[in-house]
Amino acid sequence: MEPSPEEVPEGGSPGQMPAEPTQAERFGKARTAQAVALTEDYVELIADLMVAGGEARLVDIARRLGVSHPTAVKSIRRLKREGLATARPYRGVFLTQAGQELAERVRTRHRVVVELLRAVGVPADAAEADAEGIEHHVSRATLEAFSRFLTARR
């Protein structure tokens, strides 16, 4: 796989990083992406609920995500900490400017991924279901390629 095993000094010094995107880096990134994916799911859902019903209540968020309310509370707290959302008890959860921007990007990406899947022949239900997991791993470059592909064949 790698013809030149770079002499990396032992000792676990997390200082320098080789230029090539090693497999380790890719795996590591995929793992870190987990937390990001969660954030994106919440933000996307909150935006959805706002559009659909004018408000995003904790209970609804929890139910739609299939988690218990306390779990949702924890996650929302994280969103607040990260400046993506605010919440007023019994009034619902709201997205900040940053949150809305993120939601918009996520929503767009989701739509493009589903369309791409449909375009290459994936059945609707599978496309929707798989997109939920796939979307979080679609990089900017890949997303752009998807868009180009869809535009070209439209």
Residues at the interface with DNA (CB under 7 A): 1-3, 10, 12, 31, 34-35, 38, 57-60, 66-71, 73-78, 87, 89-92
| Beta strands at 92-95 and 85-88: parallel, antiparallel or unpaired | antiparallel
Picking from 101, 96, 63, 60, the residue whose alpha carbon sits closest to that of residue 81 is: 96
28 token code pair = 């590591």
Separation between Cα atoms, residue 135 and residue 116, nearest integer Å: 11
Residue 40's contacts (CB-CB under 8 Å, 6 or more residues apart) are 102, 106, 135, 136
Q: Which does 79 bind (CB under 5 to 8 A by kind): its own copies, DNA, none?
A: none
Give the residue with the Cβ less far from its own copies, 73 or 86.
73
Q: Which does 29 bind (CB under 5 to 8 A by kind): its own copies, DNA, none?
A: its own copies
Positive or negative: CA dihedral 117, 115, 76, 57:
negative
55 is a contact residue toward its own copies (CB under 8 A): no
Q: Least distance (Å) from DNA to the CB of residue 71?
A: 3
Helices (H), the chain: 23-53, 58-65, 69-81, 97-119, 124-134, 140-153
Q: Which does 3 bind (CB under 5 to 8 A by kind): DNA, its own copies, none?
A: DNA
Convert residues 107-136 into a mask of x (bound to its own copies by CB under 8 A) and - (unbound). ---------xx--xxxx-xxxxxx-xxx-x
Which residues here bind its own copies, judged by CB under 8 A? 1, 12, 21-30, 33-34, 37, 41, 45, 48, 52, 63-66, 68, 116-117, 120-123, 125-130, 132-134, 136-139, 141-142, 145-146, 148-149
